[in-house]
């Protein structure tokens, strides 16, 4: 169902939602865009050319989260009550919503579903804002997505100038906008043009035909050490990545808690074994792992790239490693060019 949301009622819509649920919307604080709780009187930031610095994945997989608490009396671990109220994330970009849908294939699985993820996901409505003017670091169209992709979204907004066209995809998305007037044929047509123009602005940054097969063939290439030479191993590409989900589980004995923290394959200890053996001892193997996971292994798990083209790793890499250029270089590397260890 399509609705028309006049811009002048947007703030009042957010205010009304905020009375029923926790609403998060992009706002500027400490000099950059972030998803912050919405309160009446706040200033909304929707015209930022770049996405929020942190992807909204922490709404579902917090950077640090208590999994279990320790009951000293019973000498047992217990699950703490996980009370998540109804939440609406407004203004999430399609790349980040798609990432949430991708992570469902990891956490909302038939076998061993993750109850922490599931609860947060069930309680959170995602209202997306399509990208009429994608940024220079964006490459969603290169990885099977697009600036108006609605994967993972409950509703999607297209900026028509004076108003937004609202497309709803789920019952709960529908419920949020049902009191609005329906969009007319003209609105839908205008939105279609805007969506097409935005997609056209994003020329594919690389070709994905046969990419996985080629990457599998150059697993032993010298290329990975070449990439790793400029990599600092800081891990920011993974921490800011909306699809990176690796975590560590540690006991915080002083707090009587077992905690899950974000982890990264870019760190040496990530795969270091008790014997001292490490299957990924240098940054070359670790760079390869990050790259191969997103552009080869994900395809086998979910038949989709584990990258949504948000461009954060490109924008925030301190040494300017650009995954798009890396892919182009990998694609151009002949599979015979294998170095001998």
Partner 1 sequence: MSTDSIRNPYLPTPMHVLHAYYESTDRTLKTLELSFDNPQDSTAFFRKFNPGQFCQLSVFGKGESPIGVASAAWEGDFVRFTVQKMGAVTKALHKLQPGDPLGMRGPLGNGFPLEAWKGKNLVIIGGGCAFSTLYALTKHVQHPQNRPDFGQIVVIYGSRSSGLCMYKHDIQSWYKREDMEVHQAIDIPEEDWTHHVGYVPDVVKQVAPSPVNAVAIVCGPPIMTKFTLPALVQLGFPPEAIFTSLEKRMKCGIGKCGRCNIGSKYICKDGPVFSLAELNALPADI
The footprint of partner 1 (CB under 8 A) covers 67-68, 70, 74-79, 82-84, 106-107, 111-116, 118-119, 122-123, 216, 219-220, 245-251, 253, 258, 260, 263, 265, 270-275, 277, 279-280, 285, 289, 292-293, 296-297, 300-301
What is the closest distance, in whole angstroms, from the C-beta atom of residue 262 to partner 1 in the complex?
A: 10
Q: How far is the CB of 197 from partner 1 (least distance, A)?
A: 37
For residues 104 and 149, which CB has a smaller minimum distance to partner 1 in the complex? 104
CB nearer partner 1, residue 131 or residue 215: 215
Calpha distance 284→223 (Å, rounded): 8
Collect all residues with Cβ–Cβ distance below 8 Å to 62 and sequence separation of at least 6.
none
Q: Minimum distance between the CB of residue 56 and partner 1, rounded to whole angstroms?
A: 19
Buried b (16+ CB within 10 A) or exposed e, 17-52: bbeebbbbbbbeeeeebbbbebeeebeebbeeebbb
Cβ closer to partner 1: 80 or 318?
80
Shortest Å, Cβ 217 to partner 1: 10
Consecutive H or E run containing 238: helix 236-239
Q: Coil, strand or helix: which one is 82? A: coil
| Cα angle, residue 211 at apex, residues 206 and 217 outer, rounded to 5° | 135
In 38-83, at which residue ranges do the beta strands (DSSP E only) sit? 64-71, 76-78
Query: Which residue lies nearer to partner 1 by CB, 115 or 233?
Result: 115
CA dihedral 307, 312, 313, 316 (to 10 degrees): 180
Instruction: Closer to partner 1 by CB, 83 or 179: give it.
Output: 83
Report in angstroms how near the CB of residue 94 gets to partner 1 at its nearest: 25
């Amino acid at each position: 169902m399509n609705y028309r949301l006049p811009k002048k009622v947007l703030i009042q819509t957010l205010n009304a939602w905020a009375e029923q649920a926790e609403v998060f919307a992009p706002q500027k604080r400490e000099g950059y865009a972030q998803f912050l709780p919405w309160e009446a009187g706040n200033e909304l930031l929707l015209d930022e050319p770049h996405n929020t610095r942190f992807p909204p994945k922490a709404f579902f997989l917090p950077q640090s989260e208590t999994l279990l608490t320790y009951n000293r009396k019973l000498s047992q671990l217990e699950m703490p009550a996980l009370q998540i109220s109804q939440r609406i994330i407004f203004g999430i970009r399609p790349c980040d919503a798609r990432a949430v849908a991708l992570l469902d294939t990891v956490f909302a699985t038939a076998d061993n579903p993750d109850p922490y993820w599931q609860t947060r996901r069930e309680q959170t409505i995602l209202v997306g804002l399509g990208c009429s003017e994608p940024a220079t670091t964006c490459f969603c169209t290169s990885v099977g997505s697009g600036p108006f992709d609605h994967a993972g979204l409950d509703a999607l907004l297209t900026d028509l100038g004076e108003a937004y066209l609202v497309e709803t995809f789920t019952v709960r998305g529908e419920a949020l906008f049902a009191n609005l007037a329906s969009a007319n044929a003209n609105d839908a047509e205008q939105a279609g043009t805007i969506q097409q123009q935005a997609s056209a602005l994003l020329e594919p940054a690389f070709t994905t035909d046969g990419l996985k097969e080629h990457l599998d063939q150059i697993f032993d290439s010298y290329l990975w050490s070449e990439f790793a030479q400029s990599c600092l191993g800081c891990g920011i590409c993974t921490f800011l990545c909306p699809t990176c989900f690796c975590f560590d589980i540690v006991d915080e004995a002083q707090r009587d808690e077992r905690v899950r923290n974000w982890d990264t394959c870019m760190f040496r200890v990530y795969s270091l074994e008790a014997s001292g053996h490490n299957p990924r001892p240098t940054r070359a193997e670790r760079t390869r792992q990050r790259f191969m996971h997103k552009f080869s292994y994900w395809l086998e798990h979910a038949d989709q790239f584990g990258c949504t083209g948000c461009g954060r790793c490109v924008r925030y890499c301190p040494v300017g490693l650009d995954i798009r250029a890396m892919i182009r270089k990998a694609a151009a590397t002949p599979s015979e060019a294998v170095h001998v260890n």
